[in-house]
Structure 1
Amino acid sequence: MRLHRNLVFAVVDGLDLIFNEGVYASKAVEQILKRDKRWGSRDRGFIAETLYDIVRWKRLYAEIAEVREPFDRSNFFRLFAVWAVLRGIPLPNWKQLEDTPARRIKGRFDELSKIRKYRESIPDWMDELGLESFKEAFWEKEIHALNQPAPVVLRTNTLKTSLPFLRKHLLDEGIATDPIQGYPHALVLKERTNVFTTQAFKDGLFEVQDASSQLVAPMLEVEPGMRVIDACAGAGGKSLHLAALMENKGQLIGLDIYPQKLHELKRRARRNGVHNLETRLIESTKTIKKLHGKADRVLIDVPCTGLGVLRRNPDTKWKLQPSDLDGITETQKQLLTDYSKMVKPGGKMVYATCSILPRENSEQIEEFLKSPEGNSFELEKERHVFAHSSGYDGFYMASLRSK
């Protein structure tokens, strides 16, 4: 493999955006890829995948390269050199990469790989939290799985097509996929590619949605004609799934505190052919009070640490701080208390997170059921999804029925 100067420099610029300017990795990649329209799919793939790789393994690479934050530009080139040497990629004779000690890099890698926090490239506090939450053997398997690049999974939009037809349509566009046993609407790409440029995507035949995330909406057991509320809708991946399960019949209300996310949801809904969705901005507690006791089903997909989706958001390891956890769990508790009031007697709600931590998951539900608001609910079922056993994102979901 031959390294090209403009692509390597683009990677270094992306690292600067992520680590020095605080830009999320996904946004940094998006920003960098807009620079040069002449870049082909292979060039873009190199930039994106290399950036994510270096972000994912930052602690390990920084230890090998003997650099410390805040990183300067020469530090980023040293991180890149470690990445290249460990992949057996010959380094060009550039001044930014001169005197790279390839043998020492490999030796340090072998040495540090014996220590979990370096081998899995995680902060000390996150490793300690994992050991507090799980048995060591379990944590070893889970954090290792969460460091593997995530596959690209699609969800068939059943309002417009079927899985067999979508699979054929994508194959006609040169994209090979496989169905996933146990996930009736999911297709996983055989090779990573940009699916957003396909005609199938433009026609609203699918959404990109991890297989674990596709388990959440069905757990709500919606039916056509129901009134359903997605209380933390965001940009609406699960709202769109609910609309499809409702066959566009009944009323689906997407709530959120961020108007730009609801705007994106409306745009996506149009492409998906969703007609039963109404978005409402939560401007005050009145928005929720008006819906007290009015919903057959409520989805509360709460903000969380995101520790179940580190594979696709590796920069979470570096942006999340241990002090954030108390605030996040308190927010979850408050949302569960407030939003559960929208469920009518006999109705159901599903509480969900993309985290693997018991503090955010089963322990939240246990505490809620003991509270005055939770007294009128009973836990029907819960599901813990772990990356090492499922092969997909870590998730938690609990179904509760109002008595």
Structure 2
Amino acid sequence: MRLHRNLVFAVIDALKQIFNDGEYADKVIEKVLRYDKRWGARDRAFIAETTYDIVRWKRLYTEIAEAHEPYSRQHLFRLFAVWCVLKGISLPDWKQLEETPERRIKGKFDELSKIRKFRESVPDWMDELGEKSLGNKLWTKEIAALNQQADVILRVNTLKITKPQLKLFLAKEDIETVDIDGYPDALKLKERKNVFTTEAFKDGLFEVQDASSQLVAPYLEVQPGQRVVDACAGAGGKTLHLASLMQNKGQLIALDIYESKLKKLKIRARRNGIHNFETRLIDSTKVIKKLHNSADRLLLDAPCSGLGVIKRNPDSKWKLEPEFIDRIMGVQQDILQNYSKMVKKGGQMVYATCSILPQENTEQVKKFLESENGKEFELVREQNVYASETGFDGFYMALVKKI
């Protein structure tokens, strides 16, 4: 591989914004890719994937490079040099990469790779928490799986097209996809490509949604004609999936505390051809009270640590703090206690997170069921989805019924 100076400098610039300025990796890459309109798909892929790779292995690379925060430009070039050496890429004759100790880099990598927190590039507290929560064996497997690059997975919008039709449609746009066993609406890209510029996306024929995330909506067992509430809808990936499972029939209410997210959902819903839904901003407790005892189905896709989706958000390893997990667990229980009142007798509720920690998952459901508000509910089933078993994101789902 021949390294181009302008592409490497773009990576260095992106790393500075992510590491030193605390910006989110996806937003930074989006911004950096607009620097030069002449860059082709391969150039853009190099910038995005190299940046994400160095972010993913930040702790390991900084230990090898002996670089420390705040990172000077020289330190960032050192990290890039480590990336090159470990990838087997020949270093160009640039002053920024002079005297890179290639043999020492490889030796240090071999030495540090024997220690999990360096090998998997995680903070001490996260490594300790993962082992304590999941046990040594499962945590070791899980964090290794979560450090793999995420596949690009599509969810077919069955309101507009069938899976075989979409495969053919995308093939005409030079995008090859394969089915995934056990995921009826999912297609996996054979090769990473920007699908957002395709006619198929613009026409609302699919959404980008991880395979594990696609398990959540069906877990709720919705039927056409029901009143379904998605109480933590966000930008609505699972809302859109629920609408397609409901065949656009019945009433689907998307709630969230952020108006900006609900606005994005409305745009996505229009593109998807969904018309059985409405959005409501949770700006007071009245919004929830008005829906008490009225929902046939309720989805609580609760805010969480996001430890199950490190694959696609590698910078979250460096942004997440232990205090946040303690805080979010309080929010999760509060949501369970208050939002569950929307379910009517005989109705069902799914509590889901994109976390792999039992304290955010099964322990939260157990605590709810043992509480005064939870005594009317019974657990139907629950499922832990581990990246080490599926190759996709880590998730948790519990289905409970109001008796």
Q: Which bin holds the TM-score, normalised by the shorter protein?
A: over 0.9
Q: Deviations over 1:342-394 (max 9, x none)?
A: 00111000000000000000000000001111001000010100000011100
Which amino acid counterpart does residue 27 of structure 1 have in structure 2?
A: K
TM-score of the pair, normalised by structure 1: 0.99
Match in the other structure for 2:88: 88
Cα drift, residue 138 of structure 1? 1.3
Alignment partner of 1:376 is 2:376: yes
2:171 matched to 1:171?
yes
| Aligned 1:307-386 pairs, distance under 5 A | 307-386=307-386
Structure 1 counterpart SS, 2:322: coil
> How far apart, in 2, do the equivalents of 1:148 and 1:9 lie?
25
Per the alignment, residue 62 of structure 1 pairs with: 62
Tell me, in whole angstroms, the C-alpha distance in 2 between the residues paired with 1:71 and 1:374: 50
| Alpha-carbon distance between aligned partners in 1 of 2:289 and 2:73, rounded to the nearest angstrom | 52
Q: SS at 2:184's partner residue?
A: strand
Q: Which amino acid aligns with 1:395?
A: F
In 1, Cα distance between the equivalents of 2:336 and 2:230? 13
Deviation digits for residues 94-136 of structure 1 (CA, Å, limit 9, x no counterpart): 1111111111111100110011000000000011001101221
- For residues 13 and 303 of structure 1, the distance between their equivalents in structure 2, rounded to whole angstroms, comes to 31
Letter in 1 for 2:67: V
Report the equivalent of 1:78.
Answer: 78
Partner residue in 1 for 2:26: 26
Q: What residue in structure 2 maps to residue 49 of structure 1?
A: 49
Q: Aligned partner of 2:62: which letter?
A: A
Q: Partners of 1:274 and 1:17 in 2: how far apart?
A: 38
Deviations 1:202-223 (A, max 9, x none): 1100000000000000011111
In structure 1, stretches of 5+ residues that fail to align are none
When the two chains are superposed, the root-mean-square deviation of aligned CA atoms in Å is: 0.6
Cα separation, 1, equivalents of 2:273 and 2:7: 39
Runs of 4+ in 1 over 2 A off after TM superposition: none
Q: Which amino acid aligns with 1:354?
A: C
Match of 2:114 in 1: 114
Report how far residue 19 of structure 1 moved: 1.1
Q: CA deviation at 1:311?
A: 0.5
In structure 1, how many angstroms separate the alpha carbons of the residues matched to 2:110 and 2:44?
31
Query: Could you say what secondary structure the match of 1:283 adopts?
Result: coil
Deviations 1:59-94 (A, max 9, x none): 000000001112121111111110011111111111
Alignment of 1:1-400 (within 5 A): 1-400=1-400
Q: How far apart, CA to CA, are the structure 1 residues paired with 2:29 and 2:280?
A: 31
Q: How far apart are the structure 2 equivalents of 1:91 and 1:118?
A: 24
1:165 partner amino acid: Q
Structure 2 residue matching 1:298: 3-state secondary structure: strand
Q: How far apart in 2 are the matches of 1:69 and 1:341?
A: 47
CA displacement 1:150-203 (0-9 Å, x = unmatched)? 111000000000011001111111111100011000000111111111111111
The one-letter amino acid paired with 2:119 is R
Distance 1:138 1:221 in 2: 30
Q: Distance in 2 between matches of 1:279 and 1:152?
A: 28
Tell me the distance in 2 between the aligned counterparts of 1:194 and 1:106: 34
| Whole-Å separation in 1 of the counterparts to 2:166 and 2:293 | 39
Q: How far apart in 2 are the matches of 1:140 and 1:301? A: 26
CA distance in 2: counterparts of 1:175 and 1:262, whole angstroms: 30
TM-score by length of 2: 0.99
Instruction: Return the alpha-carbon distance in structure 1 between the equivalents of residues 277 and 8 of structure 2.
Output: 44
Q: Take 1:62 and 1:175, find their aligned partners in 2: how far apart are those partners?
A: 37
Query: Sequence identity of aligned pairs in percent?
Result: 68
Distance 2:237 2:34 in 1: 25
Q: CA deviation at 1:277?
A: 1.1
Aligned pair count reads 403
Residue type at the aligned position of 1:162: T
**Where does structure 2 lack aligned partners over 5 or more consecutive residues?**
none
